[in-house]
Amino acid sequence: MRIPSMTALRALDAIARLGSVSAAADELSLTRSAISHQIGSLEDNLGFSLTERQGRGIALTFAGERYAREIHRILASLEEAGRAVDNLGVAGRLTVSCNPGFASYWLCQHIGDFVRQYPQVQLQLISPRTPDDVSDSQADLFIAYGIGDWPDLQVEQLVPLRYFPVCSPRLINALGGLKSVQDLNKFPLLHMSDHSDWRVWLNAAKAGHMDLEQHCGVIFTDANCAQAACMAGQGVAMGDNLISGDALAQGLLVRPFDIAVDSLRGYFLVSTPEKNQRPTVEAFSHWLKNQLKASTQRWCKAPI
C-alpha cells in the first residue's frame, strides 16, 4: 500500500468533520469533483470503501469513520508539532499588567499552558494601581477592565461580560434553598463598591421593590475579595461569565437564577501600536484569546 497523499487525507478529514463533499470543497478551496477524486484514489489505495451513497449525498462507512478518526488525530498531531517548532522562535521578556481579579480567578489557573508552549519567553505578571490603569511604561501588554476608552492605543475586547447572582451550594443548603428571587431576603448579599450592581439586577428580575439597605452584607472594592467570600459561603454575590466561569464549571459556585444583565464594562487587551507588533505580545494575545474561547465551552451556564 502506498502512503496516501496529504490532500486525500485532508479531504477525508474535512468530509468527516463537516458532513458533506460541498462543505469540504469550500474549506479546502477545491471543487467537489476534486474532493470525490481524492476520496476515490484513497479508497483504491486502502482497498476498502470509505463512503457510501445516502440520499443525494454521501456518508462515511463504518470503516471510513474509524479511519477518519485516526487520520484526524494524526493531522492534529502534525499541526501541534508545527506550532511547537514555530513557538521556539518566540523568545524574550514579556511583561503583562493584569488586574488581581482576572489574574486570580482565570489567568493564574491557565498560565502554565502558555509557559509550556513558549518556553523561551520570560513572562512577568504585574498588577496595576486601578483596574483601568494602562499607564505603566514597563508593561508590554495590559489586561484592563473598563469601557474600552483608551485613546491612541490598540484595544480589543476579550469577552462581553454578563453578570448574575452566584453563591456557594453549601450556603443554599444551609439556608434551606434558593428557588425564587424573594428567597434572597433570607440571604446576606455581597456588593461591589455600592448597591448598584444588585439594584440593576433586581430591576431586571422585576424585584426592584426589595429593600437592599435591610440586608446584612458586605461591600467590597475588589471582585477578587467578593468572590472569595462568596465561595466561602458568606453570602450571595454578583458574579460574571468570566471571573466566575471556572468556579461554576467546577461546582464551587452555582447560578440560582437564569437572569443575566449585560455589563457596560469588560476586560480588554490594551497595548501601544508599537508593542502590539512584538512577537511575544502577538503570541500571548493569540494564546489568551484561544484559551478564553476554550473556557467558554466548559463554563456552566445553567441555573440550579
The pLDDT value recorded for residue 302 is: 38
Mean pLDDT in residue range 93-105: 90
Q: Contact, 193 vs 240, CB < 8 A?
A: no
**Tens digits of per-residue pLDDT, 226-266?**
889 999 999 999 998 888 888 888 899 999 999 999 988 88
pLDDT classification of 88: cutoffs 50, 70, 90: low
The answer, yes or no, to whether residue 303 has pLDDT greater than 50, is no
How many angstroms separate the CA atoms of 96 and 114, rounded?
A: 13
The answer, yes or no, to whether residue 271 has pLDDT greater than 60, is yes
**Tens digits of per-residue pLDDT, 201-221?**
999 998 877 766 666 678 887
**Tens digits of per-residue pLDDT, 4-27?**
889 999 999 999 999 889 999 999
Supply the angle between the helices 6-18 and 62-87 in degrees, to the nearest 10: 110
Q: What single string gives the DSSP state of each residue in the chain?
A: -PPPPHHHHHHHHHHHHHSSHHHHHHHHT--HHHHHHHHHHHHHHHTS--EEEETTEEEE-HHHHHHHHHHHHHHHHHHHHHHHHHHTT--EEEEEEE-HHHIIIIIHHHHHHHHHH-TTEEEEEE--SSTT----TT-SEEEEEESS--TTSEEEEEE--EEEEEB-HHHHHHTT---SGGGGGGS-BEEESBSHHHHHHHHHTT-TTS-GGGS--EEES-HHHHHHHHHTTS-BEEEETTTTHHHHHTTSSB-S----EE-S-EEEEEE-TTGGGSHHHHHHHHHHHHHHHHHHTTS--S--
Mean pLDDT in residue range 113-136: 92
The pLDDT value recorded for residue 57 is: 82
The pLDDT value recorded for residue 82 is: 63
The pLDDT value recorded for residue 38 is: 92
pLDDT classification of 300: cutoffs 50, 70, 90: very low
Contacts 24+ apart (CB under 8 A), 205-213: 205/181, 205/257, 205/259, 207/181, 207/182, 210/181, 210/184, 210/185
